[in-house]
Amino acid sequence: MSAVQSLRGNWNYPTTIRFGAGRIAELPDVCREAGIAKPLLITDNGLSTLPVVTETLALLAAAGAPAGLFADVRPNPTAADVEAGVAAYRAGGHDGVIALGGGSGLDAAKAIALMVGQDRPIWDFEDREDWWTRVKVDGMAPVVAVPTTSGTGSEVGRASVITDESDHTKKIIFHPRMMPRIVVADPALTVGLPPKVTAAVGMDALSHNLEAYCSPFYHPIAQGVALEAMSLIKQWLPVAVRDGKNIEARSHMMVASSMGATAFQKGLGAMHSLSHPCGALLDSHHGLTIGIVMPYVLAFNRPAIEERMTALARYLDLPSPSFRAVLDWVLALRQEIGIPDRLDAIGVTRDMAPRLAEMAAKDPSCGGNPREVNAQTLTRLYEDAVDGRFRAA
């Protein structure tokens, strides 16, 4: 058996996953297993005319399960996108959702599947206190997820990040049953990702695992998952960027992405709270933004994570295990795969820092950062990331 043939499995963690190259062929059977006879395939605008969507629709039609298509989803999905998707679902008489794409398509699809059975506005289900208990569970539509990137891990997540255009903030919509019933994780679907996109989503996967690992909360299961995922990313992300047709690299990165979304049950941190306002105001790519701010946040957090970073360096077999070894690896990785050094590369200017910081301070990701952050410290981090001023000790 070749290495690629061995990278295949049926897992039930944290949901049912059918993993392996070519397994998209099983999608009609998976829909039936999930109780979906008339699916609505939801994806983002950029994918809607590409072969991955047209071929999937043809596959379903040939199997006697023709699907509708909704693709009016922006790179940073909004409540309006969700409302339009709900209208399309109801108008088509659908009984379930196929969420296909990267983070934007998957998040929008999960939010649409939640909202088809609700009579409250979406913001009533924001991830605060026990707001998730307001959901009418019987009205939720079943979801089958088909990831086409290896970054967000949204296919195994219980939430969606949706932009509130009234105040330009990203908000987390949560319910335990938002997690898709079945995932078809076919790494062959990611082969066509351009190197720049592969690099950006790979940094998102790294951040999920790294921030979960650094989070101060107690969750040894997530800690172990995050460690192994970072090892996979260290070995395979540069390969996937360099040679996008390497199915072994694509397979390991897809797994590492799902692992990250599993691990961050333990918490995220300032990398995400800094990135979310940039996406909301500038429509910047989330993974790219994450990759830019990552070392600045690590440097800020150093007093709280030095011992943990030394242990990570040992696990990753970095020379001279230490905080500095991990930081140097992150910097070298960014350079190797083409992630910019500074936020001005994506249009962030120094004068934006206070406004962005006020937004970032309200982001729930702040709660998992190993050092306390506020608008003042976040302003400094934005300024450092714009100037390229690195405060590593």
What tens digit of pLDDT does each residue of 270-327 get? 999 999 999 989 999 999 999 999 999 999 999 999 999 999 999 999 999 999 999 9
**37 and 149 in a common domain:** yes
Give the integer Cα–Cα distance in Å for 237 and 243: 10
Q: Do the domain assignments include residue 167?
A: yes
Whole-angstrom CA distances from 139 to 21, 114, 393 are 34, 8, 53
**263 and 169 in a common domain:** no
Residue among 228, 211, 311 nearest 267 (CA): 211
Could you tell me the residue range of the domain that residue 72 belongs to? 3-189
Share of the chain above pLDDT 70, in %: 98
**303 and 228 in a common domain:** yes
Residue 1 has pLDDT above 80, yes or no: no
**239 and 274 in a common domain:** yes
Whole-angstrom CA distances from 195 to 187, 235, 243, 255, 343 are 15, 16, 8, 18, 20
The pTM score is 0.95
What tens digit of pLDDT does each residue of 216-234 get? 999 999 999 999 999 999 9
Identify which has the larger pLDDT, 192 or 21: 21
Q: Report yes or no: 254 and 340 within 8 Å, Cβ to Cβ.
A: no
User: Which of 189, 204, 236 is the C-terminal boundary of a domain?
Assistant: 189
Which of left, alpha, beta for 132 (phi over 0: left; psi -120 to 50: alpha)?
alpha
For 78, phi then psi, to 5°, come to -115, 170
Residue among 8, 244, 31, 16 nearest 148 (CA): 244
Can you tell me the mean pLDDT for 71-76?
93
Q: What is the pLDDT of residue 79?
A: 97
Q: Do the domain assignments include residue 321?
A: yes
Q: Do the domain assignments include residue 393?
A: no
- The answer to whether the peptide bond before residue 14 is cis (omega within 30 degrees of 0) is yes
- Give the helix/strand (H/E) hosting 355: helix 353-361
Q: Do the domain assignments include residue 392?
A: no
Beta strand pairing status for 159-164 and 143-147? unpaired
Q: What is the pLDDT of residue 3?
A: 66
Residue 392 has pLDDT above 70, yes or no: no
Q: Do the domain assignments include residue 139?
A: yes
92 pLDDT band, cuts 50/70/90, is very high
Length of the chain (residues): 393
Give the integer Cα–Cα distance in Å for 386 and 292: 10
**If you write DSSP's letter for every residue of 212-238 in order, what string do you get?**
HHH--S--HHHHHHHHHHHHHHHHHHH
**158 and 119 in a common domain:** yes
What tens digit of pLDDT does each residue of 173-216 get? 999 999 999 999 999 999 989 999 999 999 999 999 999 999 99
**331 and 227 in a common domain:** yes
Domains: count for the chain:
2
Give the integer Cα–Cα distance in Å for 176 and 97: 17
Torsion of CA 277, 283, 285, 290, to 10 degrees: -10
Residue 393 has pLDDT above 50, yes or no: no
**205 and 353 in a common domain:** yes
Q: Is 83 exposed, middle or buried (0-12, 13-18, 19+ CB in 10 A)?
A: middle
User: Which of 166, 189, 212 is the C-terminal boundary of a domain?
Assistant: 189
Q: Which CATH number belongs to the domain containing residue 18 in this structure?
A: 3.40.50.1970
For 16, phi then psi, to 5°, come to -75, 125
What tens digit of pLDDT does each residue of 105-143 get? 999 999 999 999 999 999 999 999 999 999 999 999 999
